[in-house]
Chains A and B, each alone.
Chain A
C-alpha cells in the first residue's frame, strides 16, 4: 500500500527553467511533508519541508506547495541548474502517532540539461 506516490519517474528540464515535481498522498492523517534529494551512491539529503498548517514554504530556489484538500504537494525549483540533477523523494509522516516514521514515494529522476 503506497501511501505516498510520485507518478512521474523522470523529468527533464532545461537549465534556467522551472522544475515542478509532484507528489500525492492518501493518508489524511499526514501532517508533515518533506523533500529529499539523492545522488547516486549517496544517502538522501534533506531539502525542504512543510507542515500541514501552511500551504507554502520557500527556501532560496526551492518552494514547496501543499494542497491538503487534494492531498497533493509539489516542489518547484527556479531557476533549475545542472547540479540539481538527482532523484527527488517526497516523504510524509503523521507526527501525532507514528513516532516520526517517514513514508517515501518512489522518487522522480530530475535531469537538468544545459
Chain B
C-alpha cells in the first residue's frame, strides 16, 4: 500500500549540472503534480501531468525546467544547468481524479542542494 514515492530524497548538484527528480504516484492514481518549496515559503505549484500529457505547466519556469509522465515508469522533473536559486524541496503529489475532486497525496520530497 505504498504512498507517493520520490527519489532521491537528497540530491546535491554543482552549478551547471543537471538534476533529475523522480516520482511514482500512488497505485491507481494517474494525475501527478509537482510543487516546489523554497526556504521559509509555502509550496508553489509547478506542473500538472497525466499519463503522456502535460495539462498545466503555468507554474514552471520557461527555461531549464521540464517534466514528463510517460506511459510506463515514474514522472520525471528535470532541471538543466542548475543554479543556486534552484535549491529547494521538490514535492510530488498524486490523485485519482484530479485535485479539484480529491485531495492530493504528497510524497516526502526531494531536497535539492546546488553548490
- Report the bound CA distance from A45 to B3 in whole Å: 11
Minimum Cβ distance to chain B for residue A18 (Å) = 24
Chain B interface (Cβ < 8 Å from any Cβ of A)? 4, 6, 31, 33, 35, 40-45, 48, 55-56, 58-59, 91, 93, 95, 98-101, 103-109
Q: Does the CB pair A106–B42 fall under 8 Å?
A: yes
Which stretch from A53-61, A63-71, A73-81, A95-103 is at the chain B interface? A95-103
- Checking A99, A103, A104 against B98 with a beta-carbon cut-off of 8 angstroms, the contacting residue is A99
A-B contact pairs, 22 of them (CB 8 A): A4-B42, A41-B108, A43-B93, A43-B107, A44-B106, A45-B106, A46-B103, A89-B43, A99-B98, A100-B31, A100-B98, A100-B99, A100-B104, A101-B33, A101-B45, A101-B48, A101-B56, A101-B58, A102-B33, A104-B44, A105-B42, A107-B42
- Report the bound CA distance from A107 to B58 in whole Å: 23
- Report the bound CA distance from A102 to B106 in whole Å: 12
Minimum Cβ distance to chain B for residue A52 (Å) = 13
Inter-chain contacts of A91 with B (CB < 8 A): 43
Q: Does the CB pair B104–A102 fall under 8 Å?
A: yes
Q: A46-B105, A100-B31 are in contact. List 18 more A-B contacts (CB 8 A).
A: A43-B106, A43-B109, A44-B106, A89-B42, A89-B43, A93-B99, A93-B100, A95-B101, A99-B48, A100-B33, A100-B48, A100-B98, A101-B99, A102-B35, A103-B45, A104-B44, A106-B40, A106-B41
Minimum Cβ distance to chain B for residue A41 (Å) = 7
- Checking A36, A42, A99 against B100 with a beta-carbon cut-off of 8 angstroms, the contacting residue is A99
Inter-chain contacts of A93 with B (CB < 8 A): 99-100
- Checking B4, B58, B101 against A100 with a beta-carbon cut-off of 8 angstroms, the contacting residue is B101
- Report the bound CA distance from A71 to B95 in whole Å: 27
Minimum Cβ distance to chain A for residue B39 (Å) = 11
Q: Does the CB pair B43–A32 fall under 8 Å?
A: no
Inter-chain contacts of B40 with A (CB < 8 A): 106
Inter-chain contacts of A107 with B (CB < 8 A): 42
Q: Does the CB pair B59–A101 fall under 8 Å?
A: yes
Inter-chain contacts of B99 with A (CB < 8 A): 93, 99-102
With known contacts A46-B103, A49-B103, A106-B42, A100–B95 Cβ distance under 8 A: yes
